[in-house]
Amino acid sequence: MARSALLSLLLLVLVTGRTLAQPGGEMIDGIIAVVGTEPVLYSELAGRLESGAATAGPEVCAGLEDLLFERALLDQARLDSVVVDEAQVQSELDRRIRYFEAQIGGREALEEFYGKTVAEIKDDFHDQVADQLLVQTMQRQVAGDVRLTPREVERFFKEIPEDSLPFINAEVEYEMVLRIPEPSEEEDRRTRQRLEGFRESVLSGDKDFCTLAILYSQDPGSASDCGELGMVPTGVMVPEFDAVALSLKDGEVSQVFRTEFGYHFMQMVERRGEQFNARHILLQPQVTSQDLERERRLLDSLATLVRDGRVGMSELAAEYSDDEASKSNNGLVVDPVSNSQRWPMNELDRETALVIDALSPGEVAQPQLVVLPDGKKAYRIIRLRSRSEPHVADLERDYRMILQAAEASRRADEVDGWVREKVGTTYVRIDPRFASCSFRNAWTGDAGQ
């Protein structure tokens, strides 16, 4: 996948240095529009386009209008003193990093590809993500809480021309119980003792911290740099790591401590108020084949209970599953993009699709070994709850999807009204090279020009 496409997955708004062909020739980066006090950069528009190069056609104009709308929301958020919590920003950065790691093949691959540590990547894009969250918050306020009655949904559906009704692919609903094996207590103790030995050898001067980090640390982002993280603000690392770092003076070596990633000890390189640069060595207790087999046998016995009708998957998920998202949804796996429990078959990952394709509704698959986005191995069982065949959209069968479409249409109407009011009282300037664009809204008082 191209670098620009990969980064756009992470950022949504990607700032690149590419040029975009326009009627007046190639443009270099610069401000191409202003809404209130919020500028739109040319490079942002280039980053929105799949090709990265196009004339001022529908794709370019639609991308520019999206950016104008976002800037209008951002400008209003500043005027209304809307803020987002820093914890929310960090959570969103973490979510995007996890997603991107899954796409590219893990944290080490991401850091190698980008040429920076995850902490540095998060720092680079902190402000963009914070602005995006502000835009989303303001958009929810503008659109309001849309609630439609069944009669309104039916009216919306009947207004769709019959030859324009969407074709719905085969969809499935499935339940899952996932088990992530934990290392044994013996392995946990062995790992900690090994790291304690490393620490003692550093303190005694027998071994060099840098050499130990390069040879043994299991943090791929810092091991090759002698375990050094670079200057990071508090809140970027997990709380346990921050707490230890902030307790150290320059040059001081910590005790061995544990986080969700494993066991660490660190040496403080430099403290600057609420920022620090430390180096650390990470060792992770390893899961053995025996640990995996233990989970496989457990799931095999649980699957038998479901097949015999002695227990339901929702009960098993609540008691046994390590997947928090489906566990809190009675075992049902929800599409994180659409927030729907109905999955189009063509959107399932290959491994899941192969398992489900072999099941009839109500059947439970044999335990399956899977590799999670963070590289951990786990076992899962899947039960197919329902399957729908491909069909033209129908109000009864597809009510939830049609409800969502009707609500989206109503929200769009609310937003359009807000934009008309906003433009009437807000400074808007658009580069003349985009004068041929026909916008949905009258950004300069002449929509559809």
pLDDT score, position 24: 43
- What CATH number does the domain containing 355 carry? 3.10.50.40
Separation of CA 209 from chain center: 35
| The total number of structural domains that make up the chain | 3
Q: Do residues 218 and 293 both lie within one domain?
A: no
Q: Do residues 91 and 118 both lie within one domain?
A: yes
Tell me which of 358, 392, 426 is where a domain ends. 392
**Tokens, residue 171:** 């969809």
CB 222 within 8 A of CB 117: yes
Euclidean distance between CA atoms 327 and 179, whole angstroms: 11
* Conformational region of residue 16, where left means phi above 0, alpha means psi within -120 to 50, and beta covers everything else: beta
Residue 135 lies in a domain: yes
pLDDT score, position 56: 58
User: At residue 363, does pLDDT exceed 90?
Assistant: yes
Long-range contacts from 23-29, C-beta under 8 angstroms, 24+ separation: 23/55, 23/56, 23/433, 23/436, 24/433, 27/433
State the pLDDT confidence band at 51, using cuts at 50, 70 and 90.
very low
Euclidean distance between CA atoms 318 and 388, whole angstroms: 27
Q: Do residues 267 and 378 both lie within one domain?
A: no
335 burial via Cβ count (<10 Å: 0-12, 13-18, 19+): middle
- What CATH number does the domain containing 119 carry? 1.10.4030
Q: Which domain holds residue 224?
A: 185-283
**Tokens, residue 93:** 């950065």
pLDDT score, position 411: 87
Q: Do residues 274 and 334 both lie within one domain?
A: no
User: At residue 367, does pLDDT exceed 90?
Assistant: yes
User: At residue 143, does pLDDT exceed 90?
Assistant: no
Residue 96 lies in a domain: yes
376 contact partners, CB below 8 Å, separation of at least 6 = 180, 287
User: At residue 12, does pLDDT exceed 50?
Assistant: no
Residue 363 lies in a domain: yes
State the pLDDT confidence band at 375, using cuts at 50, 70 and 90.
confident
User: At residue 62, does pLDDT exceed 80?
Assistant: yes
Euclidean distance between CA atoms 36 and 75, whole angstroms: 6
Q: Do residues 259 and 335 both lie within one domain?
A: no
Mean pLDDT value across residues 260-264:
93
Residue 71 lies in a domain: yes
Give percent of the chain above pLDDT 90.
Answer: 55
**Beta bridge partner(s), residue 257:** 264
Q: Do the strands 25-26 and 21-22 form a parallel or antiparallel pair, or are they unpaired?
A: antiparallel
**Single-letter amino acid, residue 415:** V
**Tokens, residue 252:** 């001081």
Residue 445 lies in a domain: no
pLDDT score, position 29: 67
Residue 156 lies in a domain: no
User: At residue 9, does pLDDT exceed 50?
Assistant: no
Mean pLDDT value across residues 305-334:
94
**Single-letter amino acid, residue 369:** L
Nearest partner of 267 among 212, 306, 318, 331, judged by Cα = 212
DSSP string, 262-319: EEEEEEEEEEETTEEEEEEEEE-PPPPHHHHHHHHHHHHHHHHHHHTTSS-HHHHHHH
pLDDT score, position 6: 41
Q: Do residues 317 and 177 both lie within one domain?
A: yes
Euclidean distance between CA atoms 448 and 440, whole angstroms: 7
Q: Do residues 374 and 429 both lie within one domain?
A: no
- The vertex-2 CA angle with 58 and 348, nearest 5°, equals 85
Tell me which of 283, 301, 335 is where a domain ends. 283
Nearest partner of 320 among 379, 249, 365, 385, judged by Cα = 379
User: At residue 18, does pLDDT exceed 90?
Assistant: no
State the pLDDT confidence band at 442, using cuts at 50, 70 and 90.
confident
227 contact partners, CB below 8 Å, separation of at least 6 = 209, 210, 213, 214, 217, 219, 266, 279, 280, 281
Mean pLDDT value across residues 324-344:
87
Tell me which of 362, 392, 422 is where a domain ends. 392
Q: Do residues 108 and 173 both lie within one domain?
A: no
The residue that leads in pLDDT, 398 or 296, is 296
Nearest partner of 20 among 47, 38, 1, judged by Cα = 47
Residue 356 lies in a domain: yes
**Tokens, residue 392:** 């033209």
Mean pLDDT value across residues 335-345:
83
Q: Do residues 224 and 367 both lie within one domain?
A: no
Q: Do residues 45 and 26 both lie within one domain?
A: yes
DSSP string, 382-440: EEEEEEE--EE--TTTTHHHHHHHHHHHHHHHHHHHHHHHHHHTS-EEE-GGGTT---S
User: At residue 102, does pLDDT exceed 80?
Assistant: no
pLDDT score, position 54: 47
Q: Do residues 273 and 360 both lie within one domain?
A: no
Mean pLDDT value across residues 431-449:
76
State the pLDDT confidence band at 17, using cuts at 50, 70 and 90.
very low
Residue 177 lies in a domain: yes
Q: Do residues 173 and 308 both lie within one domain?
A: yes
For residue 162, give the 3-state DSSP assignment: helix
Mean pLDDT value across residues 135-150:
87
For 197-235, what is each residue's pLDDT tens digit?
999 999 999 999 999 999 999 998 899 999 999 888 888
User: At residue 53, does pLDDT exceed 50?
Assistant: no
Give percent of the chain above pLDDT 70.
Answer: 91
